[in-house]
Chains A and B, each alone.
Chain A
């Protein structure tokens, strides 16, 4: 048979992709409907159909260290909020610490001192290849819990470092327990140290890549203008390197925020740990997971928004 000219529909270049998409979309919809149907049926059977009113019930448990005042009579949402604030606290401190340490190590890779250069390399290779969770439990159980407690605590003027934490502002030993105006617990300390040390290794690589992206001629030129190496770094190289560094930092910051959920391993009451306790008391698995995913998404968005701001600022300064 010879009926050319007309393209049959199954050869239609425009139709086919849409058809494929339609079928794929339908398939996805069917699967999703199947899963959601099961979810609803199973939840109904278990008497756990989604509801949010339990958030207003009193939590009944305490949260170990909080910035917001919290006690067991307050509702679940306050407990979760306290956890969120704890997460934000460690993330914020971690971002600052990791940036400072990471930048120092990244820049050290360009030092004229051979030993320093090699040590920076060793640091990155050592830290990057050991799982963060392992490092966290190491910091907590091996390093921080080995600190002396009570009277044997390390005492400096105005500062005391004991097994229970770091105290600032004229700490006193009352009844075998240190009391001070400002206190950072060892749980916070271990988590923060772990996050900073780990993330700094990655940030160092980002910084090193950024600095390396500046043509060596720039160094030589500023040298010949009589600038010291430090001035060169500060005024000439870093501003240019930042264009490359900032986008790389964004993803490192986000992974730091997400990694902070490993706090459960060292007894710090972050959002995830509070959420886990909440799940246990209420049995509301689906709601709790939704809250968790939503919260981390918001934190990621905040960091991305912040870094976008920084990025546009860096880009304007250049030229």
Chain B
């Protein structure tokens, strides 16, 4: 039959495609992202979109959450308007390709900072400061009588595919020499649906995410988080390696939110602080930070008042945390590791100098 021969024709085509690219080197690296965002007048931000507390859609169609506020802060710093963001819902397996291909400028989607994702020989990404220090946990129904990881030997565990969670689970189970069956799903909603239907005995993810999801279960008290923390999960916004200028702009916008908390600058008092700084030439630190004096903004390619814009838009880091995942939210997570360094936490902004 003819079809066989014709089909076979496609094989060399594929082979040829595979060889392309070994052919030539591209030109020099140019930093264009920041200019691109400015000329477009809009920040393209990749988010999860289905994760309570971090990014989700309100009934009126707008986005909210900690990850979303990072996007809004960056938009405010670069464009002077936090609403100039176009959000893209991405699942965990398409997020890096979306970033690498330039479909989004900034990935703010509870992404764990790891070596292989950062390295040029790996995913070639560039990580901004961590905005949420998390750890991987395991959740199981109370009735199942599971108290530690060891009890999960031989049992099915639900996990979202393509996440560091999946890899950590494999590592830990190997460490304690327990065989198990990973049941992998493409999206979080499927993972939790299968867990709730009893297909797996436990579900694993970041502890904050498990806590967030549990609040939406029909019977939140019927599920327990195991005491073990499987890994460190520093959740961090990401840009591409190839554009250091843009990475710096994002990095220092986020540091600005942290520094603002340290200096006691809030969404409510920012205007008075600016007026104060303008009136008092002796407060050099504050004047530089708020862009009243010096050229920090210019050095980053941002407006002089980028800090003011960002804080005005979303508040300082502490406010952002409490509003989205802390006491001001349904999740009621403790600050824990996410306290300022001066309170014994890990949130630490390098000096604005």
Residues of A whose CB lies within 8 Å of any CB of B are 36, 39-50, 60-65, 71-73, 141, 145-146, 149, 163-164, 174-177, 179, 186-187, 247, 250, 264-265, 267, 269, 273, 276-277, 279-283, 285-287, 290, 293-294, 297, 300-301, 304-305, 307-308, 311
Contact = CB atoms under 8 A, between A and B. Distances in A.
A61 B167 contact: yes
A280 B93 contact: yes
B183 A187 contact: yes
Given A50-B20, A290-B14, 12 more contacts: A36-B20, A42-B101, A48-B100, A62-B180, A72-B171, A265-B186, A267-B194, A279-B93, A280-B162, A281-B116, A283-B124, A300-B7
28 contacts: A36-B20, A41-B26, A41-B27, A44-B26, A45-B242, A46-B241, A46-B242, A48-B124, A50-B21, A50-B22, A60-B167, A72-B170, A72-B171, A141-B197, A145-B194, A149-B198, A175-B154, A176-B201, A177-B154, A186-B199, A187-B183, A280-B92, A280-B161, A281-B116, A283-B117, A283-B124, A287-B18, A304-B3
Nearest to A63: B182
Contacts of B20: 36, 39-40, 50
B221 interface: no
B97 A283 contact: yes
Interface in B155-180: 155-156, 161-163, 166-167, 170-171, 174, 180
Contacts of A301: 4, 7-8, 11
B18 A60 contact: no
A111 B198 CA distance: 43
Q: Which 8 residue pairs across A and B have the least CB separation, nearest first?
A: A280-B162, A47-B124, A44-B26, A50-B21, A41-B26, A283-B123, A72-B170, A46-B100
Q: Which of A145, A267, A297, A308 gathers the greatest number of chain B CB atoms within 10 Å?
A: A267
Contact of B97 (A285, A297, A308): A285
B289 to A, nearest CB: 33
Nearest to B173: A62
Contacts of B120: 47
Contacts of A281: 116, 162, 167
A71 B169 CA distance: 12
A171 B25 CA distance: 59
Contacts of B116: 281
B240 interface: yes
Given A36-B20, A276-B93, A277-B93, A65 B242 contact: no
Contacts of A273: 161, 184, 186
A297 B7 contact: yes
B89 to A, nearest CB: 16
Contact of B29 (A45, A50, A71, A311): A45
Contacts of B21: 36, 39-40, 43, 49-50, 286
A163 B158 CA distance: 14
A69 to B, nearest CB: 12
Contact of A297 (B11, B29, B102, B242): B11
A297 to B, nearest CB: 6
Q: Which of A40, A279, A280 gathers the greatest number of chain B CB atoms within 10 Å?
A: A280
B133 interface: no
B1 interface: yes
A41 B10 CA distance: 25
B113 interface: no
A247 B2 CA distance: 11
B329 interface: no
A293 B14 contact: yes
Contact of B17 (A65, A146, A179, A290): A290
A62 B182 contact: yes
A294 B11 CA distance: 7
A282 B22 CA distance: 18
A267 B183 contact: yes
